Amino acid sequence: METYKLLDTLKQRVWSTNVSIASKEDVNRAVLLDSGNLVLTNGIEIKWQSFDYPTDTWLPGARIGFDKSKNTLQKLTSWRNMNDPATGKYSLQLDQNQNGELVLLDNRGENWRSGPWDEGGVASLAERKGVFNFSYDPTKDSKYITFNVFGESVGGQCLLWNGDLFDLKRILNNSSQVELNLKLFESSNKGKKKPLLVALAASITSAIFVCGTCCYFLWRRNLREKGILRKKKFREMLLSESATNLAKPEHSSNKGQEKKSDIELKFFELHDLKVATDNFSLDNKLGEGGFGAVFKGQLPDGQQIAVKRLSTQSRQGISEFKTEALLIAKLQHRNLVRFFGCCVEDEEKMLIYEYMPNKSLDYFIFDESRKSLLDWKKRHEIIIGIARGILYLHQDSRLKIIHRDLKPSNILLDEDMNPKISDFGTARIFSGNQNEAKTLRVVGTYAYMSPEYALAGLFSVKSDVFSFGVMVLEVISGKKNRISHDSDSPPNLIRQAWELWNDGMAFELIDPTIVDSCTNEEVLRCIQIGLLCLHIDAAHRPTMSSILFMLSNEATVPSPKQPLITLTSKLNTTETTSSSINEVTITAPDVR
């Protein structure tokens, strides 16, 4: 079986048939026929032809349909948008369950049907349009619709004809009139005028073709130069931003700024990422969030990658893109997702990370069919790994970083289920002597926000500690902390954990799937640490270094105090600031 490929001078794949073909003879030529059909042949027979794999254009002679015996499907697909020829959401294909009926589909379902062939569907539509001759070819295993044109050129109400005779009634309806213009030449002048007219027409056509070709290539070169310049400017803008400057929006100090040369940021080419992800095919799509879609890919050296592609409708803007690219480029820890680089080209903006085969923590702990795959030993290791990653951000890296959006969906798992913190788009950097900052733009996920951040926009390392405490309770219980202002709703996870702990029944909080694999002392110690992290006063929450010390059973764990059960009891506001990023829209009141 062979796959025919077109390679560049570096032996990189530029194009391929994307299908395997059984052949004992080499294909030695590619021919573009007058019909528009691109064929690959060995000089004797056609081995592959583009008419079998239509994209967005239906040419005369090409077919739309299917063959069940060969497991083939010919359909038309739309562009993603006017400027992006990647596969869009619309497709036109032949319904396998109907008799010659075309159906227009999108991601949500059907948009239009032509009606069955034998009930006046495509056939009658084509007859009203006039110049197209459609045909339907059904067999036991296959069905196809194709078409050709009656004349060679049609424009408006004018038909240029020089082929076989046909009935004008198939072109014109009863209300139309037809006017025939005939050009007659005397037989004595025919031999002299015809060569002259042919030569004149050929000269004019050649001149128009040459001028048009030159204009086209000049236009393409101009577009390419503008794209290169725009890409260069954006890259220079990224490199000119010291990561420490990212603290400026939160009124942080500028001390300790690092030099431009300290930023090691690798840029990928868009073409290489298209090859790596098979042109961002749906088969390689891993998921979608506030940033945009994430695609799996593979580099030429075999390295698997995850490509975060910023959507044009993304709630995460250029500022968050720059923050994540510049920040994560400076960080390296076994419990942080590994960053390879970014791509800024045309209208595309992408971040490239290592591929995490086991998705995220929430994929397991909140799913009834998968939570049993994580026993207590593995969950305890995940809790410690997350704590080590946060400690690195707060204390051990060359920057002091507040993540601001820690939650299970941002904890990725590698092939050994080791946790990796990800998504640094909302992170902020503190200088060495800075402990707290305030913002009017509260971002993150409400269920994991500390009270001082959700209510007053104040954040610090203790804000991340609060988020960590919520995650610890979620990992132990297998339940999501849900925030509701409805008094009839069940208590949230924080309230449930505190009441069980206060009543001496904390063991009832544990996920039933890990009861047999856990030790009472160890899991109750983790619940106690989680509640300590939820103290209403940020100053009384432990640091991440203290938390790791307590998790290792090397320190006495203090008794927790009652956390803030609901934020509504503390509200006294006259002004709000809204932000919409990541999972929810947050209204953050300014407290007086």
The CATH number that applies at residue 348 is 3.30.200.20
Residue whose entry in the numeric block shows the structure tokens 């640094």: 424
Residue whose entry in the numeric block shows the structure tokens 């001390």: 255
Comparison of pLDDT for 16 and 437, the residue scoring more: 437
Q: What percent of the chain has pLDDT over 90?
A: 34
| Residue 204, in any domain of the structure | no
Spatial CA neighbour of 157 closest among 134, 179, 133: 179
Give the pLDDT confidence score for residue 345 in this predicted structure. Answer: 81
**Residues 381 and 427 placed together within one structural domain of the fold:** yes
Last residue of a domain, one of 126, 149, 172: 149
What are the two backbone dihedrals, phi and then psi, of residue 142, each rounded to the nearest 5 degrees? -140, 155
Residues 6+ apart with CB under 8 A from 124: none
**Residues 346 and 435 placed together within one structural domain of the fold:** no
Last residue of a domain, one of 354, 372, 388: 354
Q: Which tens digits make up the pLDDT trace of 365-377?
A: 999 999 999 999 9
**Residues 557 and 443 placed together within one structural domain of the fold:** yes
**Residues 371 and 282 placed together within one structural domain of the fold:** no
Mean local confidence (pLDDT), 113-134: 66
The region, left, alpha or beta by phi > 0 then psi within -120 to 50, assigned to residue 292 is: left
Q: Which tens digits make up the pLDDT trace of 468-525?
A: 999 999 999 999 998 766 555 567 899 999 999 999 999 999 999 999 999 889 999 9
Give the pLDDT confidence score for residue 175 in this predicted structure. Answer: 47
Q: Which strand (E) or helix (H) includes residue 419?
A: strand 419-421
- Annotated binding-site members for ATP: 308
Spatial CA neighbour of 563 closest among 488, 518, 509, 497: 497
Q: Which residues constitute the domain of residue 322?
A: 270-354
364 class by beta-carbon count within 10 Å (0-12 exposed, 13-18 middle, 19+ buried): buried
**Residues 344 and 412 placed together within one structural domain of the fold:** no
Mean local confidence (pLDDT), 426-443: 84
**Residues 413 and 330 placed together within one structural domain of the fold:** no
Give the pLDDT confidence score for residue 385 in this predicted structure. Answer: 97
178: pLDDT strictly greater than 70: no
Residues 6+ apart with CB under 8 A from 547: 387, 465, 468, 529, 533
Q: Which tens digits make up the pLDDT trace of 35-91?
A: 888 888 877 888 888 888 888 888 888 888 988 888 888 899 998 888 888 888 889
Comparison of pLDDT for 221 and 143, the residue scoring more: 143
Q: Which tens digits make up the pLDDT trace of 197-242?
A: 777 788 788 888 788 888 877 766 665 655 555 555 555 555 555 4
3: pLDDT strictly greater than 80: no
147: pLDDT strictly greater than 50: yes
284: pLDDT strictly greater than 90: yes
412: pLDDT strictly greater than 50: yes
Question: What is the pairing mode between strands 153-155 and 142-149?
Answer: unpaired
**CA–CA separation, 486 vs 496, rounded Å?**
16
164: pLDDT strictly greater than 70: no
Give the pLDDT confidence score for residue 527 in this predicted structure. Answer: 97
Give 513-524 as a DSSP string: GGGGGS-HHHHH
Torsion sign across C-alpha atoms 461, 464, 466, 469: negative
| Residue 166, in any domain of the structure | no
| Residue 210, in any domain of the structure | no
| Residue 456, in any domain of the structure | yes
pTM, two decimal places: 0.57
**Residues 323 and 369 placed together within one structural domain of the fold:** no
Helices (H), 14-161: 122-129
| Residue 588, in any domain of the structure | no
| Residue 424, in any domain of the structure | yes
Spatial CA neighbour of 418 closest among 311, 307, 336: 336
**CA–CA separation, 145 vs 43, rounded Å?**
29
Which stretches of 82-185 are assigned E, i.e. beta strand? Answer: 84-94, 102-106, 109-113, 132-138, 142-149, 153-155, 158-160
Q: What percent of the chain has pLDDT over 70?
A: 72
| Residue 235, in any domain of the structure | no
Do residues 116 and 135 lie in contact, with contact meaning Cβ atoms separated by under 8 Å?
no
Mean local confidence (pLDDT), 400-408: 93
**Residues 275 and 303 placed together within one structural domain of the fold:** yes
Do residues 295 and 355 lie in contact, with contact meaning Cβ atoms separated by under 8 Å?
no
Comparison of pLDDT for 485 and 117, the residue scoring more: 117
**Residues 350 and 386 placed together within one structural domain of the fold:** no
Tokens standing for 256? 């300790």
**Residues 343 and 399 placed together within one structural domain of the fold:** no
569: pLDDT strictly greater than 60: no
Name the CA dihedral angle for 327, 328, 331, 335, rounded to a multiple of 10 degrees. Answer: 140
Comparison of pLDDT for 258 and 3, the residue scoring more: 3
405: pLDDT strictly greater than 80: yes
**Residues 386 and 334 placed together within one structural domain of the fold:** no
- Annotated binding-site members: 308
Mean local confidence (pLDDT), 298-313: 88
Confidence of residue 528 (pLDDT cuts 50, 70, 90): very high
Give the pLDDT confidence score for residue 497 in this predicted structure. Answer: 95
Whether 405 is catalytic:
yes
**Residues 350 and 371 placed together within one structural domain of the fold:** no
Spatial CA neighbour of 570 closest among 553, 590, 550: 590
Spatial CA neighbour of 250 closest among 443, 390, 468: 443
Give the pLDDT confidence score for residue 139 in this predicted structure. Answer: 86
Last residue of a domain, one of 122, 149, 176: 149
Torsion sign across C-alpha atoms 105, 109, 115, 118: positive
Mean pLDDT of all residues in the chain? 78
Do residues 569 and 561 lie in contact, with contact meaning Cβ atoms separated by under 8 Å?
no
> What CATH number is associated with residue 430?
1.10.510.10
Which of 34, 362, 367, 405 is catalytic? The answer is 405
| 265-274, 308-317, 429-438, 558-567: range with lowest mean pLDDT | 308-317
| Residue 294, in any domain of the structure | yes
Mean local confidence (pLDDT), 345-354: 86
> Considering its fold, how many domains does the chain have in total?
3
